């Protein structure tokens, strides 16, 4: 597989040239040396399979339609190619070329990965450590509030939301019966082998911890039967002292019904860069892609086999539908906003977050958050619909946007600053102090 990629990449380098470059030619040795040495062997041509894959990939890139969305990333990718920026993995060809770069070692990424903030401890961890951190935090919290910790486990670590809903409602019903009928002994016992208990409660994580935390204990009790068929079974039985603390049971019931999953918060990794011509170059780590590298390779191999035929048969509508499907692959996006003075604000977002989140992100970074501004997507078109998601308007897996101030308001601001003999950058001072340089 490595040899296959290297042959394609070598063929592409041989056949294409970057912006402002001429097609490369074989170096010519001095005439005296040429006469003394034998003629060099001709360059080994790529295999037929490599040539077909390269040609198909290039053809696919040419066939990509211009996106209609006001902030299409396809135009951005093409403009980056014209300005000498690296190709982005925003299309099938981009992801394929990204893998070719990986074969020889990619450049340092724009960010080191996707990070999350644990809401319980404030710890910042990588994406693959998120669940482990949550488990450890909830387990540690159980020594402080075992009831709350068990509810967190139920809501957070059971992924089937419908099963969680049914479980919580059934558990709340058990507590409700005890609170309403404390004199009825039958409501204070729950048979563990009961079909409803097994199917709705026992199979979910954290449920047994909840019953133990609210005052139930496990007991083996005799089960009435006929003659030799009588036996014993295990029950959860409410402790006697809890009958004098029924209000606590009611509170636990309300707490159970109103609970939500504990979600780690996506770390924006807010970064400010000084003015740089490399603003449009993005080198993304694997964390930004839904598919693994091996899955991308396998899919590209399957697509390459049929791309020539498919390119001739697909309609424009089909191509646009496929492009939207491509966009839905990305879970995250890295966005940069370039200010008029050249400074760049960078943040990490979910691909399905709305444009309004980006406006708020920029506003929070301003020295004066009341200043009106507009964001311009690739191509200079305004992002007017703040309800659109980033993947709906093509801002995945990365994009460079521009910020434009309200001209009338900025004229007044500049006039006021001129009187004070102070020209200030609009970003907060602490962000400017930590500004980095894009390499």
Co-location of 247 and 357 in the same domain: no
Q: How far apart (Å, rounded) are the C-alpha atoms in residues 133 and 117?
A: 10
Co-location of 258 and 386 in the same domain: no
The residue written with tokens 């509810």 in the block is 151
The confidence score (pLDDT) of residue 231 equals: 82
The confidence score (pLDDT) of residue 16 equals: 42
Q: Which domain holds residue 420?
A: 326-437
Q: Name the domain count of the chain.
A: 2
Q: For the purposes of burial, counting CB atoms within 10 Å of the CB of 357, is it exposed (0-12), middle (13-18) or buried (19 or more)?
A: middle
Residue 169 lies in a domain: yes
Phi, psi of 42 (to 5 degrees): -60, 145
CATH number of the domain that residue 144 is part of: 1.20.58.2190
Of the three residues 214, 236, 265, the one that is the final residue of a domain is: 265
Tokens for 389?
């998601």
Residue 17 lies in a domain: no
Co-location of 228 and 335 in the same domain: no
202: how many CB neighbours lie within 10 A of its CB?
A: 14
Residue 21 lies in a domain: no
CA angle 89, 340, 364 (to 5 degrees): 80
Co-location of 256 and 339 in the same domain: no
The answer for residues whose C-beta is within 8 angstroms of residue 161's C-beta and 6 or more apart is none
Co-location of 343 and 424 in the same domain: yes
Of the three residues 212, 240, 265, the one that is the final residue of a domain is: 265
Per-residue pLDDT tens over the stretch 127-163? 999 999 999 999 999 999 999 999 999 999 999 999 9
Per-residue pLDDT of the chain (439 residues; tens, 9 = 90+): 445 445 544 554 444 444 444 444 444 444 444 444 444 445 455 565 555 555 555 444 444 444 444 443 334 333 433 333 333 333 333 333 333 333 334 445 688 999 999 999 999 999 999 999 999 999 999 999 999 999 999 999 999 999 999 999 999 999 999 999 999 999 999 999 999 999 999 999 999 999 999 999 999 998 876 555 568 899 999 999 999 999 999 999 999 999 999 999 999 999 999 999 999 999 888 888 766 566 566 666 666 655 555 555 556 565 565 555 555 578 899 999 999 999 999 999 999 999 999 999 999 999 999 989 999 998 888 999 999 999 988 899 999 999 999 887 777 777 666 655 566 789 999 999 999 998 7
Residue 288 lies in a domain: no
Of the three residues 265, 283, 299, the one that is the final residue of a domain is: 265
The CB-side HSE value for 139 (13 A sphere, CA atoms) comes to: 8
Co-location of 215 and 356 in the same domain: no
CATH number of the domain that residue 402 is part of: 3.10.20.90
Residue 193 lies in a domain: yes
Q: How far apart (Å, rounded) are the C-alpha atoms in residues 28 and 40?
A: 11
CB 435 within 8 A of CB 348: no
Residue 48 lies in a domain: no
Co-location of 261 and 333 in the same domain: no
Co-location of 338 and 223 in the same domain: no
SS3 271: strand
Co-location of 148 and 220 in the same domain: yes
The residue written with tokens 């977050």 in the block is 353
Buried residues in 387-402 as b, exposed as e (16+ CB within 10 A): ebbbbbbbbbbbbbbb
Residue 343 lies in a domain: yes
The confidence score (pLDDT) of residue 313 equals: 57
What is the share, in percent, of the chain residues with pLDDT greater than 90? 53
End-to-end CA distance of the chain: 31
CB 343 within 8 A of CB 402: no
Co-location of 261 and 332 in the same domain: no
The confidence score (pLDDT) of residue 322 equals: 58
The confidence score (pLDDT) of residue 425 equals: 84
Co-location of 150 and 254 in the same domain: yes
Co-location of 128 and 199 in the same domain: yes
Residue 399 lies in a domain: yes
């Amino acid at each position: 597989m490595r040899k296959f990629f290297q042959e394609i990449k070598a063929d592409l380098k041989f056949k294409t040239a970057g912006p402002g470059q001429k097609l490369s030619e074989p170096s010519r040795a001095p005439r005296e040396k040429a006469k003394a040495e034998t003629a060099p062997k001709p360059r080994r041509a790529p295999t037929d399979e490599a040539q077909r894959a390269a040609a198909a990939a290039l053809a696919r890139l040419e066939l990509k339609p211009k996106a209609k969305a006001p902030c299409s990333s396809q135009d951005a990718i093409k403009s980056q190619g014209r300005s000498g920026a690296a190709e982005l993995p925003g299309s099938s060809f981009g992801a394929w070329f990204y893998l070719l770069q990986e074969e020889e070692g990619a450049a340092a990424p724009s960010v080191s990965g996707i990070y999350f903030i644990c809401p319980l401890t404030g710890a910042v961890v990588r994406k693959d450590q998120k669940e482990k951190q949550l488990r450890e935090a909830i387990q540690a919290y159980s020594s402080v509030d075992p009831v709350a910790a068990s509810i967190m486990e139920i809501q957070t670590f059971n992924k089937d939301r419908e099963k969680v809903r049914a479980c919580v409602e059934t558990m709340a019903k058990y507590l409700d019966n005890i609170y309403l009928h404390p004199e009825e002994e039958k409501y204070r016992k729950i048979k563990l082998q009961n079909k409803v208990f097994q199917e709705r409660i026992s199979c979910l994580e954290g449920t047994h911890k909840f019953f133990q935390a609210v005052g139930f204990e496990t007991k083996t009790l005799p089960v009435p039967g006929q003659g030799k068929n009588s036996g014993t079974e295990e029950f959860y039985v409410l402790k006697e002292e809890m009958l004098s603390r029924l209000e606590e049971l009611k509170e636990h019931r309300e707490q159970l019904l109103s609970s939500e999953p504990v979600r780690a918060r996506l770390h924006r990794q807010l970064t400010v860069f000084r003015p740089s011509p490399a603003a449009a170059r993005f080198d993304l780590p694997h964390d930004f892609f839904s598919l693994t590298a091996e899955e991308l390779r396998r899919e590209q191999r399957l697509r390459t086999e049929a791309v020539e035929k498919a390119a001739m048969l697909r309609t424009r509508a089909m191509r646009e539908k496929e492009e939207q499907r491509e966009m839905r692959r990305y879970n995250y996006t890295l966005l940069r906003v370039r200010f008029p003075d050249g400074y760049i604000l960078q943040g990490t977002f979910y691909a399905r977050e709305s444009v309004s989140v980006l406006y708020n992100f920029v506003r929070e970074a301003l020295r004066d958050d009341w200043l009106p501004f507009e964001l311009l997507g690739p191509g200079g078109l305004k992002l007017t619909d703040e309800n659109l998601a980033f993947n709906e308007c093509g801002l995945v897996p990365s994009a460079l946007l521009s910020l434009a101030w309200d001209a009338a308001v900025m004229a007044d601001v500049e006039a006021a600053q001129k009187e004070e003999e102070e020209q200030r950058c609009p970003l907060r001072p602490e962000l400017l102090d930590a500004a980095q340089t894009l390499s």
